[in-house]
Structure 1
């Protein structure tokens, strides 16, 4: 699909020519995601017993299928808090860059989706828990509750392995005067980690064209989504309510939803109407009053410090 011009929904002739002759004819014409492509091949009927009238809906990849499975709507974010942290974003007007990925939206042909992956996820959180909270999630949560939003201006970057977004490695701590320091008190260290992880996610999401909207909601999954105090920081940084969903194998569920959309409803019915009877996510936390003002001031500072670290790592531009 990297051969597709996502704005025009046609194959890029330059990319096709660079890959193989007559490739466009072999690929076929791109179609909207709810299109029925025809009936299943006779091979599958004979080999696996499919009904010869079984219809096939347009294919998609696992990440777009996950967006469908979690039933995101415009302005929503899905955050998977696992070994790596992953963001799925619903976008109306993307601004592609060298970071992240922009796809066609799997349930709305007029919109787009973005994906961002952050390698230092739960393993980094577990290391700071072990070092600063006596290996206890309870103590970790207590530290988050004991420290104020904004962490007194102390900001941290925690990348024990080379990060994907951005390409930084190491631990970097800055006090309220933007001076780099070697260590933080334990409670400050814990909040600096969690705030830093979520501020980075918001900054890089906005770099791809995402904007928090009044109706924005965040759907959280993965191991850390069971920790209410971590989710509270997520809600505060994004200034949006956080919901949790028990949907497992969201890519498979999303593929089933898309099949139902194509076969039962057709392109004229919005995807949201097709899945409106599906189980709803559960509200976990809402933003703390005053959070928007705190992080509106901190987010630009965090972005500047990130660029400072990157320039120190890469050296001055040629």
Structure 2
């Protein structure tokens, strides 16, 4: 029976998850950077510089963690001969800079020696910039200026310029460490870097993770010459050509065949970013949306006709090259809900839920917009209440305050999702995860606002599991095979709420939100 491996190079650990032919998890190992590789002196898997803006991770640490994770699998008796295909994911927006001549070392690794000892001197930039870095404000302004503004950049690449996005990180190295840039023969994302290790040669960046760089034309699925030329000289050549996320890149490197016993026929499928991998792991389909209700609330959705905007991100879909996915993040999530629980429900979730049951959908026309901290989508802060006549008011009743918060949070999500091109359909589903997904009354409001059934979803391993799924998908046909066809049975989602027949004025919410942003 064939098995499939999903690799996850995340911020704090490397994880490997194995599935059987039916894509059921059978084994998992991980290596935590801080505790198991203390020599790299990371905290939370990263190094934060004195400016509190520059955040990096030692590139060599990721290499050593891969060998250590595979050794754990081997010591546990895992049969590497059974692995038919592998794929993986890396934390989005991180970048790796291969030194001139590194490709020769990469394709001639000695299986008798540790990989990190052989590759330790193969990186022109020893510490890779990662997604937590926010030191490229100047570079973001420059890129937007060169392409005609933030909306133009978003229309090309799916996002306006963001400090963590790879193109802006490359621009910083090009302008401030030009000697290191000139010594670089290839630039990888963390995902394509990890694939390169397993492939024994440079792996192409996939469309989906490449969409998080401010460099890829997401419609043409090619590097935008306008963007690459604005970022750095000769950048196009250093990136290689982007490929479909289901591409079979080649066979596994001889290093892993001899060192761990992989079958030489094992194929490496293109690696992708962690958010696209999670979409695959959640088994999203056309019309679906994932709502993660945590400290920050995150929205992930399947799009057919994207409308790039100044807020949110649009990526090429990792399981269907003809579709897209969108990502929206809202800072004011569970902490704001907890504040309302404490202030208006005596600190009790039970009373909070009773307030939702005691009030009717649409809340008598009252709408609340509550941003305790500076919000991302939109860029605003403050507390705003509007009555049915769109007049600002100072307060609602306690139970109305609670409903206005929950309805307002979900109206914001639907409004911004629709601005990016999301369209409700008769088969639309909302897949809920995170702490608040345990509250049935909150989920009922979510279902009503989106006019779609809400299912509870366990996403604890979604990125890693999604890569095992993608490994089989790529091996069995990739883009010529519908992603859902690789599964023997339907997802085991649990129905949590069904919508009552009620119509929310989403455009009204949008007008009110726009009024507070002026």
Give the TM-score of the pair, scaled to structure 2.
Answer: 0.57
Contact 2:283 2:491 in 1 (8 A): no
Work out the CA distance in 2 between the residues paired with 1:46 and 1:184.
69
Q: Which moved more, 1:112-121 or 1:46-55?
A: 46-55
Partner residue, 1:188:
400
Residue 49 of structure 1 deviates from its aligned partner by 5.3
Partner residue of 2:473 out of 243, 248, 261: 261
Residue 44 of structure 1 deviates from its aligned partner by 4.2
Q: Which moved more, 1:13-22 or 1:143-152?
A: 13-22
Partner residue, 1:304:
511
Partner residue of 1:85 out of 282, 297, 304: 297
Residue 276 of structure 1 deviates from its aligned partner by 4.7
Partner residue, 1:9:
221
Work out the CA distance in 2 between the residues paired with 1:190 and 1:278.
36
Partner residue, 1:231:
443
Work out the CA distance in 1 between the residues paired with 2:331 and 2:395.
23
Residue 17 of structure 1 deviates from its aligned partner by 2.4
Q: Is 1:35–2:277 an aligned residue pair?
A: no
Partner residue of 2:418 out of 206, 230, 233: 206
Secondary structure of residue in 2 paired with 1:102: strand
Q: Which gives a bigger RCO, structure 1 or 2 (Cα 8 Å, sep 6+)?
A: 1
Secondary structure of residue in 1 paired with 2:513: helix
Work out the CA distance in 1 between the residues paired with 2:482 and 2:343.
49
Partner residue of 1:64 out of 276, 280, 285: 276
Q: Equivalent residues in 2 for 1:132-281 (5 A)?
A: 132-277=344-489, 279-281=491-493
Contact 2:319 2:479 in 1 (8 A): no
Contact 1:265 1:274 in 2 (8 A): no
Secondary structure of residue in 1 paired with 2:285: coil
Deviations 1:219-257 (A, max 9, x none): 000011111100100110111111111232211111111
Contact 1:36 1:55 in 2 (8 A): yes
Secondary structure of residue in 2 paired with 1:267: helix
Secondary structure of residue in 2 paired with 1:173: strand
Deviations 1:283-311 (A, max 9, x none): 1111012x13xx1xx32221111111111
Work out the CA distance in 1 between the residues paired with 2:262 and 2:227.
36
Residue 50 of structure 1 deviates from its aligned partner by 4.2
Work out the CA distance in 1 between the residues paired with 2:484 and 2:365.
41
Distance verdict in 2 for CA 1:278–1:39, change over 3 Å: farther
Secondary structure of residue in 2 paired with 1:90: strand
Deviations 1:63-95 (A, max 9, x none): 011111111111110110111001111011101
Distance verdict in 2 for CA 1:276–1:164, change over 3 Å: farther
Work out the CA distance in 1 between the residues paired with 2:488 and 2:346.
44
Residue 102 of structure 1 deviates from its aligned partner by 0.4
Work out the CA distance in 2 between the residues paired with 1:176 and 1:25.
57
Secondary structure of residue in 1 paired with 2:446: helix
Secondary structure of residue in 2 paired with 1:172: strand
Q: Which moved more, 1:64-73 or 1:265-274?
A: 265-274
Residue 128 of structure 1 deviates from its aligned partner by 0.3
Work out the CA distance in 2 between the residues paired with 1:160 and 1:22.
44
CA RMSD for the aligned pairs? 1.6
Work out the CA distance in 1 between the residues paired with 2:261 and 2:405.
53
**How many pairs were matched up?**
306
Q: Is 1:107–2:314 an aligned residue pair?
A: no
Residue 28 of structure 1 deviates from its aligned partner by 2.5
Work out the CA distance in 2 between the residues paired with 1:283 and 1:262.
30
Q: Equivalent residues in 2 for 1:282-293 (5 A)?
A: 282-289=494-501, 291-292=502-503
Residue 126 of structure 1 deviates from its aligned partner by 0.5
Work out the CA distance in 1 between the residues paired with 2:427 and 2:248.
32
Deviations 1:157-201 (A, max 9, x none): 111100000111111111122221222111000000000000000
Work out the CA distance in 2 between the residues paired with 1:19 and 1:182.
48
Work out the CA distance in 2 between the residues paired with 1:190 and 1:217.
25
